[in-house]
Amino acid sequence: MKLISLTMATLMVIATSASAEVKIALDSKPDLETSGSYNWAHSFGNALKEAGMEVREMPRGSVGKEAEKFDQVSTGLLEVSLSDVRAVAQVDPFIYGVRLPYIFNDISHMDRTLAEGKVFEKVNANLAKQDAILLALAPLGPSSGIITTKAVVRSPADMSKLRMRALDDAQIAMYKAWGSSGTVVPWGEVPAGLQTGVIDGYLNSPFIPVMFGQTDFVKNFSDAGVIWPLRAVIASKGWYDGLSDADRGAVDAAVKTADKATREWLAEASVKGLAALEENGVTVQRLSAEQRDVFRKASKPVYESDLMTKENMALWLKLSEENR
pLDDT tens figures, 204-214: 999 899 989 99
pLDDT in 10s for each residue of the chain, 324 residues: 333 333 333 344 344 433 479 999 999 999 999 899 999 999 999 999 999 999 999 999 999 999 999 999 999 999 999 999 999 999 999 999 999 999 999 999 999 999 999 999 999 999 999 999 999 999 999 999 999 999 999 999 999 999 999 988 878 989 999 999 999 998 889 999 999 999 999 999 998 999 899 999 999 999 999 999 999 999 999 999 999 999 999 999 999 999 999 999 998 887 789 999 999 999 999 999 999 999 999 999 899 888 889 999 999 999 999 998
What's the predicted TM-score (pTM) here?
A: 0.88
Class of domain 2-140+230-268: alpha beta
pLDDT tens figures, 240-285: 999 999 999 999 999 999 999 999 999 888 778 999 999 999 999 9
In this prediction, residue 166 carries a pLDDT of: 93
Whole-angstrom Cα distance, residue 215 to residue 81? Answer: 28
Of 273, 11, 9, the C-alpha closest to 131 is 11
Residue 224 · residue 145 · CB < 8 Å: yes
Pairing of strands 22-25, 132-139: unpaired
Residue 19 · residue 13 · CB < 8 Å: no
The topology under which CATH files domain 145-227+274-322 is D-Maltodextrin-Binding Protein; domain 2 (3.40.190)
Count CA within 13 A, CB hemisphere, residue 139: 27
* Cα of 311 vs its chain's centroid, Å: 24
Residues 6+ apart with CB under 8 A from 272: 33
Residue 105 · residue 324 · CB < 8 Å: yes
* Cα of 161 vs its chain's centroid, Å: 27
CA distances from 154 to 74, 108, 148, 160, 172 (A): 43, 27, 12, 12, 19
Size (the chain), residues: 324
Matching CATH topology for 2-140+230-268 and 145-227+274-322?
A: yes
Q: Is the dihedral of CA 262, 268, 273, 276 positive or negative?
A: negative
Cβ-in-10-Å burial (0-12, 13-18, 19+) of 285 comes to: middle
Count CA within 13 A, CB hemisphere, residue 28: 27
The domain segmentation of the chain, as residue ranges, is 2-140+230-268, 145-227+274-322
